[in-house]
A and B are shown apart, each in its own frame.
Chain A
Amino acid sequence: MSVTTAPPPPVRRRGRPGRTQFRTSLAGLGFMAPFLVVFALVFLAPLAYSIYLSLFRDQLIGGNSFVGFENYLQAFGDPKFWDGALRVAIFLVVQVPVMLVLALVAALALDSGRLHGSSFFRIGIFLPYAVPAVVAVLMWGFMYSERLGLAGNINSFVGFDLVTPFTQQWILVAIGNIVTWSFVGYNMLIFYSALRTISPDLYEAAGLDGAGQFRILWSIKIPALRGAIVIATIFSIIGSFQLFNEPNILKTIVPNLIPTYFTPNMYAYNLSFVGQQYNYAATIAIIMGLITAIIAYVVQLRGNRKELS
Chain B
Amino acid sequence: MSLFIIYSLLPLVWLFINSTKTQADLISTFGLWFSGDFVFFENVAQTLTYDNGIFVRWLGNTLLYVVLGAGGATLLATLGGYGLAKYNFPGKKAIFAVILGAVAVPGTALAVPTFLMFSQLGLTNTIWAIIIPSLISPFGLYLIWVYAADSVPTEILEAARVDGASELRTFFTISIRLLAPGIVTVALFAIVATWNNYFLPLIMLSEPNLFPLTIGLQQWNLQGTGVGADPIFNLVLTGSLLTIVPIVVAFLLLQRFWQSGLSAGGVKQ
Question: Which A residues are closer than 8 A to B by beta carbons?
Answer: 1-3, 5, 8-13, 20, 23-32, 34-36, 38-39, 41-47, 49-50, 53, 102, 106, 109-110, 115, 119-121, 123-136, 138-140, 142-143, 147-150, 153, 181, 184-185, 189-190, 193-194, 196-197, 224, 227-228, 231, 238, 241-242, 244-245, 249, 252-253, 255, 264-265, 268-269, 272-273, 278, 281-282, 285-286, 288-289, 292-293, 296-297
Let me know if B106 and A130 touch, CB within 8 A.
no
Q: Interface size bucket, B side? A: 35 or more
- Is the CB of B50 closer than 8 A to any CB of chain A? no
- Is the CB of B227 closer than 8 A to any CB of chain A? no
- CB neighbors of A among B131-162 (8 A): 132-133, 135-136, 138-139, 141-143, 145-146, 149-150, 154, 161
The 8 closest A-B pairs by CB, nearest first: A28-B87, A31-B83, A8-B149, A35-B80, A132-B196, A27-B167, A25-B89, A289-B109
Complex Cα spacing A255 to B225, Å: 10
Let me know if B112 and A285 touch, CB within 8 A.
yes
CB distance from A161 to the nearest CB of B (A): 17
Q: What are the residues of chain B within 8 A of A5 when measuring CB–CB?
A: 146, 268-269
CB closest residue in chain A, given B215: A134
- CB neighbors of A among B232-263 (8 A): 233, 236-237, 240, 243-244, 247-248, 251-252, 255, 259, 262-263
CB closest residue in chain A, given B5: A124
CB closest residue in chain A, given B120: A49
Let me know if B87 and A227 touch, CB within 8 A.
no
**B interface secondary structure, majority:** helix
Q: What are the residues of chain B within 8 A of A190 when measuring CB–CB?
A: 266-267
CB closest residue in chain A, given B195: A132
CB distance from B205 to the nearest CB of A (A): 12
- The one of B77, B112, B240 in contact with A139, judged by C-beta atoms closer than 8 angstroms, is B240
Let me know if A253 and B5 touch, CB within 8 A.
no
Complex Cα spacing A193 to B104, Å: 23
Complex Cα spacing A127 to B141, Å: 24
CB closest residue in chain A, given B114: A46
With A28-B86, A32-B83, A153-B32 already in contact, 9 other A-B pairs whose C-beta atoms are closer than 8 Å: A5-B269, A12-B154, A39-B136, A115-B1, A123-B252, A124-B8, A139-B14, A190-B266, A292-B104
CB distance from B99 to the nearest CB of A (A): 7
CB within 8 Å for A50 and B112 given contacts A1-B266, A29-B83, A32-B83: yes
- CB neighbors of A among B45-59 (8 A): none
- The one of A42, A106, A149, A193 in contact with B4, judged by C-beta atoms closer than 8 angstroms, is A106
Let me know if A253 and B225 touch, CB within 8 A.
yes
- The one of A39, A150, A252, A269 in contact with B203, judged by C-beta atoms closer than 8 angstroms, is A269
Can you list 12 A-B pairs with a CB-CB distance of less than 8 A?
A: A13-B88, A25-B87, A28-B87, A30-B83, A44-B102, A46-B113, A47-B105, A130-B248, A148-B31, A264-B108, A289-B109, A293-B104
Let me know if A132 and B150 touch, CB within 8 A.
no
Q: What are the residues of chain B within 8 A of A126 when measuring CB–CB?
A: 251
Let me know if A38 and B27 touch, CB within 8 A.
no
- Is the CB of B41 closer than 8 A to any CB of chain A? no
- Is the CB of B127 closer than 8 A to any CB of chain A? no
- CB neighbors of A among B165-202 (8 A): 167-168, 171, 192, 195-196, 198-199
Let me know if A127 and B76 touch, CB within 8 A.
no
Q: What are the residues of chain A within 8 A of B75 when measuring CB–CB?
A: 34
- The one of B87, B225, B267, B269 in contact with A27, judged by C-beta atoms closer than 8 angstroms, is B87
Chain B, residues 1-16, CB within 8 Å of chain A (1/0): the string is 1001101110110110
Complex Cα spacing A11 to B148, Å: 11
Complex Cα spacing A245 to B214, Å: 11
Let me know if A43 and B110 touch, CB within 8 A.
yes
Let me know if B27 and A150 touch, CB within 8 A.
no
CB within 8 Å for A193 and B263 given contacts A46-B114, A242-B108: yes
CB distance from A304 to the nearest CB of B (A): 12
Let me know if B31 and A153 touch, CB within 8 A.
yes
Q: What are the residues of chain A within 8 A of B30 when measuring CB–CB?
A: 153
Complex Cα spacing A227 to B146, Å: 15
Let me know if A147 and B27 touch, CB within 8 A.
yes
Q: What are the residues of chain B within 8 A of A102 when measuring CB–CB?
A: 4
Let me know if A125 and B4 touch, CB within 8 A.
yes
Complex Cα spacing A131 to B143, Å: 23
